[in-house]
Amino acid sequence: KSGDLYEKSKQIMPGGVNSPVRAFRSVGLTPLFIKKAQEARIIDMDGKEYIDYVGSWGPLILGHAHQQIVAEIKRAAKDGISFGAPTEREYLLGKMLIEALPSMEVIRLVNSGTEAVMSALRLARGYTGRDKILKFAGCYHGHSDGVLVRAGSGALTLGHPDSAGIPKDYAQNTLVAAYNDGEQLERIFRKYGNELAAVIIEPVAANMGVVLPKVEFLRRLRELASLFGVLLIFDEVITGFRISYGGAQGYYGIRPDITVLGKIIGGGMPVGAYGGSREIMKMVSPEGAVYQAGTLSGNPIAMAAGIKTLEILKATPELYEQLELMGNELETSFHNLGQKYQLPVKVNRLGSLLSLFFSDHQVVDYKTAMQADSSLFTRYFRYMLQAGIYLAPSQFEAMFISGAHTQQDLIETLASVEQSFQKITANAPH
Ligand code: PLP
């Protein structure tokens, strides 16, 4: 049935999907169409069940169809689905967000991470009166024009777009640096610091596979940004409420000027947010001259799902300990199995966010991530899928553990990893 639906969808949607990674192209398969899901398990249109480590690409830290969240969504829907006017739920979610991430004194809710980043960059440009921005190779910040750019060859390059349709002039305002490279950072700031409106970073990178920041690198980034009057934007679309309730900024104790959020704060409903100090945020319309708007922004159903998700996370701080334990168990077992089967396994992990790289090298940035063996990953992915484990279909994505994963899920997962490694070493066909 997945196959039929895919064929039909291809007739009316590019690649049969509404977001490219869903198409499974990088692993040479056709996508599963999902029928339903509960807790850590998803069921496809053919009735096959999988343990899910994608979690809708991050939002589902409490698992699928969490009873209390579903109940809140129903309750909200009964009162009306959208008003295009302010509601109490927007205030309540906004308040929870600024309490959790005190670098934000004022917040604006939007509909996606892409929209939040795009708006945050406009705000930074409006506030500083400068045009250029700096991003890091391998960090993904949604698909707005200015951030769809990566480094050419590790050294600083004036950006060239990753996508057709982005004006060169526009991309030229985006500089790209290597993640974790402190020396290069100094050089870039010395040369361009006075022209930069903002530097945007995933404080833990999760879109070239998981890559942890060197803490010194993040600290120096904060210092340099302050020194040159550049706004530091933490894109916490993945890390917010996942690394800790206070996000990566709480975990590392670094205060960005602007924070971008998404995913978890909508509990699976479409949402995004950006916020910063009162002084910066007073530039945003209708108070200030930086225009940004949205018909469905602060949608009551999304707010209801977000509020309930955060309420649960706040009320159960031990959940983060549980996620850490599970993450640690996967990490250790991946290493052990890698050794047992003499496969070049490297694991990058923080809490419930992890990646297994097939590489001889430690992965610390985009360049080293690209050295990982994607063909080995593809074989691993296929065996795992066959065995009923649903992973993100690329070497360069994260694995997300949720509070709904059980010890039994981990045992089954690790048994499948072992079988998969066995087959890889035995060169078995898939
Ligand atoms: N920023 C980061 C760090 C992301 O991982 C993503 C999406 O994966 C985005 C921004 C864009 O968010 P959205 O897909 O909701 O537009």
φ, ψ dihedrals at 6, nearest 5°: -60, -45
- pLDDT tens track, the chain, 430 positions: 999 999 999 999 999 999 988 899 889 999 999 999 999 999 999 999 999 999 999 999 999 999 999 999 999 999 999 999 999 999 999 999 999 999 999 999 999 999 999 999 999 999 999 999 999 999 999 999 888 876 333 334 456 677 888 888 778 899 999 999 999 999 999 999 999 999 999 999 999 999 999 999 999 999 999 999 999 999 999 999 999 999 999 999 999 999 999 999 999 999 999 999 999 999 999 999 999 999 999 999 999 999 999 999 999 999 999 999 999 999 999 999 999 999 999 999 999 999 999 999 999 999 999 999 999 999 999 999 999 999 999 999 999 999 999 999 999 999 999 999 999 999 866 5
Nearest CA to ligand 1 atom 7: 142
φ, ψ dihedrals at 78, nearest 5°: -60, -30
Q: How far is the CA of 115 from the centre of ligand 1 (A)?
A: 9
φ, ψ dihedrals at 5, nearest 5°: -65, -40
Of 202, 263, 394, 399, the one to substitute when testing ligand 1's pocket (max ligand atoms within 8 A of C-beta) is 263
Report the pLDDT value the prediction gives residue 160, as an integer from 0 to 100: 66
Is the minimum distance from the CB of 114 to ligand 1 under 6 angstroms? yes
Contact 43, 36 (CB under 8 A): yes
Q: Give the position, in ligand 1's atom list, of the atom nearest the Cα of 202.
A: 3
Report the pLDDT value the prediction gives residue 151, as an integer from 0 to 100: 35
Q: Please give the Cα distance from 247 to 234 (Å, whole number).
A: 10
Q: Please give the Cα distance from 371 to 374 (Å, whole number).
A: 9
Of 56, 110, 114, 261, the one to substitute when testing ligand 1's pocket (max ligand atoms within 8 A of C-beta) is 114
Q: How far is the CA of 284 from the centre of ligand 1 (A)?
A: 22
What is the number of other CB atoms lying within 10 angstroms of the CB of residue 96? 20
In 3D space, the residue among 48, 154, 134, 197 whose CA is nearest the CA of residue 368 turns out to be 154
Q: How far is the CA of 204 from the centre of ligand 1 (A)?
A: 13
Alpha helices, DSSP H, located in 129-238: 168-171, 182-192, 215-227
Q: How far is the CA of 140 from the centre of ligand 1 (A)?
A: 7
Beta-ladder partners of 286? none
Report the pLDDT value the prediction gives residue 429, as an integer from 0 to 100: 62
Is the minimum distance from the CB of 117 to ligand 1 under 6 angstroms? yes
Is the minimum distance from the CB of 59 to ligand 1 under 6 angstroms? no
In 3D space, the residue among 364, 360, 356 whose CA is nearest the CA of residue 384 turns out to be 356
Cα 114 versus chain centre, distance: 11
Q: How far is the CA of 340 from the centre of ligand 1 (A)?
A: 36
241: left (phi over 0), alpha (psi -120 to 50) or beta: left
φ, ψ dihedrals at 383, nearest 5°: -60, -40
Tell me the HSE value of 171 on the side-chain side, using a 13 A CA sphere. Answer: 19
Q: Give the position, in ligand 1's atom list, of the atom nearest the Cα of 115.
A: 16
Rounded to whole angstroms, what are the CA distances from 133 to 3, 140, 278, 367, 426? 43, 14, 22, 21, 49
38: left (phi over 0), alpha (psi -120 to 50) or beta: beta
Is the minimum distance from the CB of 73 to ligand 1 under 6 angstroms? no
Beta-ladder partners of 109? 273
Of 57, 141, 259, the one to substitute when testing ligand 1's pocket (max ligand atoms within 8 A of C-beta) is 141
Is the minimum distance from the CB of 142 to ligand 1 under 6 angstroms? yes
Is the minimum distance from the CB of 113 to ligand 1 under 6 angstroms? yes
φ, ψ dihedrals at 150, nearest 5°: -130, 180
pTM above 0.85, yes or no: yes
Q: Give the position, in ligand 1's atom list, of the atom nearest the Cα of 262.
A: 15
The SS3 of residue 360 is coil
Report the pLDDT value the prediction gives residue 150, as an integer from 0 to 100: 67
Q: Give the position, in ligand 1's atom list, of the atom nearest the Cα of 263.
A: 15
Is the minimum distance from the CB of 141 to ligand 1 under 6 angstroms? yes
Active site residues: 140, 235, 263
Q: Please give the Cα distance from 162 to 148 (Å, whole number).
A: 6
In 3D space, the residue among 297, 291, 287 whose CA is nearest the CA of residue 266 turns out to be 297
Q: How far is the CA of 338 from the centre of ligand 1 (A)?
A: 31
* Pairing of β 389-390 and β 353-358: unpaired
The pair of three-digit structure tokens given for residue 110, joined into one six-digit string? 């939007």
Q: How far is the CA of 60 from the centre of ligand 1 (A)?
A: 14
Is the minimum distance from the CB of 235 to ligand 1 under 6 angstroms? yes
**Longest pairwise C-alpha distance within the chain:** 65
